[in-house]
Structure 1
Amino acid sequence: MDVQCSYYDAGLCRSCGWMGRPYDEQLAAKQTHARALLADHPDARWLPPVASPEAGFRNKAKMVVAGTAAHPTLGILDAAGRGVDLQGCGLYPDELRAAFPAVARFVTRAAIEPYDVPARRGELKHVLLTRAPDGRLMLRLVLRSQEAVARIRKHLPSLRAELPTLAVASVNVLPEHKAVLEGDLEIPLTEQQTLTMDVDGVALHLRPRSFFQTNTDVTAALYRQAAAWVQQSAPTSVWDLYCGVGGFALHVHAAHVVGVETSEEAVASARATAAELGRPATFVAADATAWALAQGAPPDLVVVNPPRRGIGPALAGWLEGSGVTRVVYSSCNAVSLARDLAAMGSFAVREARVFDMFPQTTHYEVAVLLERRT
């Protein structure tokens, strides 16, 4: 089906630049774009792209809060900094959309003044809501200060009564006036501080400040593909660099698996999952590049899943000269992927696949299996 959006049609939100474009055309265009960027690897075998549900696929909502405490908006800001309410956005599953009105009513009950960006006053900047596959919810309120925390604690029981699936809640404090999503201070509001994201039977623990892919179904397909590529070479040792909460590391099988991630919260989550599963995996909180360059012997295989900037010249150069024979590279930016591959001339792309994490937009994930040329 082709998704229709009233917000897009009314010109209120243009975040989905491909809204209304037939989905098969979207998927084909992403495949064409990725292949063009990796044209220096003409022998690569391109697997069929992994499609996503066209709507209701997002497992988390990042809502800017505006308006007033009596009438808050949850959505985005327009060009003048005024709130545009997007509680009915079709990218979110029904369970998330059903939670937005309860959260808005809670903002009113707790008298939390939304942050006014043009005037630089107010408290509540963002509502971050995540849904686990089992339906449980994590709510994070990003505030300018701790002024409203006592009122939030007082009224939280009423929100939990209205939203019985709310399992994890916290306040994040972002004092600065800048275009970022969250600050460094996280204040737990519930005893439980971990949401369980079950992906193909691997119960990944997600803490409030840990990253997780926004499309659970397509993420599961990505992990399966990576695990299949790893299994082909039956490595004894695997490094998962930029491992997040351990998604790749805990889906692959090897005698020695090490995951490296800068976020200490994500590493704590990964360690908890590994302990529950009894997996022989070690997780380290460190910069992936610095850690890799400081090691002695390289592993048999490396998995990398960097942010949009890619792995960069230092890590690409290390991989080039390391003696590692296989690399699985998962990228959310095929432009930086192509740039990194150009610095790794000893590797050829053997197989590649597009994973459509973000329907209705130009964005996608692409994963490649690299093998050292003989």
Structure 2
Amino acid sequence: MRCDYFDAGVCRSCTWMGRPHGEQVADKERHCADLLGERADLQWLAPVSGRESGYRNKAKMVVGGTAEHPTLGILDAGGRGVDLQGCGLYPSSLAVAFPALAAFVTLANLTPYDVPARTGELKNLLVTQSPDGELMVRFVLRSQEPVARIRKHLPALLEVLPQLRVVSVNLLPDHRAVLEGAREILLTATETLRMRVNGIDLHLRPQSFFQTNTEVAAALYRHATAWVEELAPASVWDLYCGVGGFALHVAAPGRDVVGIETSVEAVASATLSAHGRPGVRFAAGDATAFALGAVTAPELVIVNPPRRGIGDALGRWLEASDVQHVVYSSCNAVSLARDLAAMPSLRPRRAQVLDMFPQTTHYEVLTLLERG
């Protein structure tokens, strides 16, 4: 893949841009294997890779420039907007929304936030596309002042983008280098974006996390489900469950599945998706606290933690527990290796690298741990 922005030095976010895709995947697998170390009883499955371009289902666009001439992309070292509407990581079906959103910024007179001056209102535009091509758009604002104008002109945006289903405002009053704040204001009657993955409807609310690469995420869920079905546990915990992707995929008659996630919004999404599925329930809470407070342990635990990993406390609990198998999905093999070292009784039996983030050094790795 080639990128004019990268070649011109305008954007260097994709640090492996220009390298052959197959070489990227091979290097990621080698990096992961080096971190996990030589293990005679560990089977490495063939890596999973999808498209090297047009794979992102979410655009995180920093808004710069002026209301009359906004930029959607990133900020340069001086805090000025750099327009990246032509970024090749977005599929054309998602990128087609960018000009309409830029025009809406002008129509609603949404002044982009000036980082050096700390003035203005509109900080970011967060756009998510479902597998069916439907969209969710979130306006990240400094205050509620522009909300009335967004409401007023929203019908015009919905007319231009008929695939738009969910629109919200997120409030981020602080001057911080983060994407969003805690408060969300829904502007549409529809509250969730339906993400149809492997025939399962996952309902995504505005503040819920979903994997960036839908194609590879679908493969991640399929492969984890195949491992779980092979083991046929009667009870499963899905810790750091997000919107319930793993839990809903492994749900089966006679199997008790519990999903735990700190995000109340994600749990609401997962609960909606689980409607009508017996044996599956979700609760908002800390994964470690839930495990430490449980009376009994399940037969199998799925963990999909943030980059920092599961941490010492949960690792020690799993090591001392009766859990027979752990399916560990990691976006950071460094923390995965550290967590494995703290659980020597749970030995890695299978591992598979999934190229969730082509053109970058990042990847997902799925590992099956077995007590023994």
The answer to whether the superposition gives a TM-score over 0.5 is yes
Q: Partner of 2:96: helix, strand, or coil?
A: helix
What amino acid is aligned across from residue 266 of structure 1 in structure 2?
Answer: A
Q: CA shift at 1:123, angstroms?
A: 0.3
Say whether 1:260 aligns with 2:263.
Answer: no
Residue 347 of structure 1 and its aligned partner are, at CA, apart by: 1.2
- Counterparts of residues 1-374 of structure 1 (less than 5 Å): 3-254=1-252, 255-276=255-276, 278-373=277-372
Asked if structure 2 preserves the Cα contact closer than 8 Å seen for 1:250 and 1:279, the reply is: no
Q: Secondary structure at the match of 2:246?
A: coil
Which residue identity is paired with 2:91? P
Instruction: Determine the C-alpha separation between the residues in 2 that align with 1:253 and 1:184.
Output: 31
Aligned-pair CA distance for 1:42: 3.6
Residue 222 of structure 1 and its aligned partner are, at CA, apart by: 0.3
Q: Is the 8 A contact 2:329 2:366 kept in 1?
A: yes
1:127-156 C-alpha deviation (Å, 9 max, x unpaired): 000000111100000000000000000000
User: Quick one: distance in 1 between partners of 2:184 and 2:36?
Assistant: 41
Residues of 2 paired with 1:282 and 1:361: CA distance?
36
For residues 110 and 63 of structure 1, the distance between their equivalents in structure 2, rounded to whole angstroms, comes to 18
Tell me how far apart the structure 1 counterparts of residues 161 and 107 of structure 2 sit (CA, whole Å). 15
Partner SS for 2:94:
helix
In the alignment, structure 2 segments of 5+ residues that lack a partner are: none
- If the length of structure 2 is used for normalisation, what is the TM-score? 0.99
CA contact (8 A) 1:196 1:205 kept: yes
Please say which of residues 61-70 and 36-45 is displaced more in the overlay.
36-45
Structure 1 residue 280: deviation in Å?
A: 1.9
Which secondary structure state, in structure 1, belongs to the residue aligned with residue 49 of structure 2? coil
The one-letter amino acid paired with 1:355 is L
Taking structure 1 as the reference length, the TM-score comes to 0.98
| Residue type of the alignment partner of 1:17 | T
Deviations 1:21-62, CA, capped at 9 Å, x for gaps: 001100000000000000153421000000120100000000
Shift of 1:371: 0.2
Task: Name the SS of the counterpart of 1:155 in structure 2.
Answer: helix
* CA displacement, residues 47-79 of structure 1 (integer Å, 9 cap, x when unaligned): 000012010000000000010000000000111
CA distance in 1, matches of 2:361, 2:262: 28
List per-residue Cα deviations over 1:297-325 (Å, max 9, x = no partner): 10000000000000000000000001101
Code of the aligned partner of 1:39: G
Distance 2:22 2:110 in 1: 44
Q: Is the 8 A contact 2:251 2:280 kept in 1?
A: no
- Is this contact kept in 2: 1:41–1:348, CA < 8 A? no
1:250-270 alpha-carbon deviations (Å, 9 max, x no partner): 000341000000011111111
* Contact 1:64–1:125 (Cα < 8 Å) also in 2: yes
Cα distance in 1, alignment partners of residues 278 and 202 from structure 2: 13
Is contact 2:327–2:368 with CA below 8 Å preserved after alignment? Answer: yes
Q: Distance in 2 between matches of 1:110 and 1:138?
A: 18
Residues 279 and 216 (structure 1 numbering): CA distance in 2 closer, same or farther, change over 3 Å?
Answer: farther
Counterpart residue type for residue 355 of structure 2: D
TM superposition outliers: structure 1 runs of 4+ over 4 Å: none
- SS at the partner of 1:249? helix
The sequence identity of aligned pairs, in percent, is: 67
The answer as to whether partners of 2:236 and 2:299 remain within 8 angstroms in 1 is: yes
Question: What SS does the corresponding residue of 1:355 show, helix, strand or coil?
Answer: strand
Q: Could you report, residue by residue, the CA deviation over 1:325-363 in whole angstroms, capped at 9, with x for unpaired residues?
A: 100000000000000000001111100000100000000
Which amino acid in structure 2 is aligned with residue 324 of structure 1?
Answer: V
- Tell me the distance in 1 between the aligned counterparts of 2:101 and 2:167: 12
Q: Is the 8 A contact 2:135 2:165 kept in 1?
A: yes
Equivalents in 2 of 1:198, 1:360: separation in Å?
26
Gap regions ≥5 residues in structure 1: none
Aligned partners of 1:233, 1:174: CA distance in 2, in Å?
45
CA distance in 1, matches of 2:40, 2:80: 49
**CA distance in 1: counterparts of 2:40 and 2:85, whole angstroms:** 45
CA distance in 1, matches of 2:57, 2:329: 20
The CA deviation at 1:239 is 0.1
Contact kept in structure 1, 2:257 and 2:279, CA below 8 Å:
yes
Query: Amino acid of the residue matched to residue 332 of structure 1?
Result: C
Describe the SS at the equivalent of 2:247.
Answer: coil
Partner of 1:248, secondary structure, is helix
| Amino acid in the other structure paired with 2:313 | A
- SS of structure 2 residue aligned to 1:320: helix
Contact 1:129–1:137 at 8 Å: present in 2 too?
yes
How many residues of Structure 1 are paired with residues of Structure 2 in the alignment? 370
* Worse overlay, 286-295 or 34-43: 34-43
Secondary structure at the counterpart of residue 275 of structure 1? coil
For residues 58 and 193 of structure 1, the distance between their equivalents in structure 2, rounded to whole angstroms, comes to 22
Question: For residues 151-203 of structure 1, what are the alpha-carbon distances to aligned partners after superposition, in whole Å with 9 as ceiling and x for unaligned?
Answer: 00000000010000000000000000001111111000000010000000000
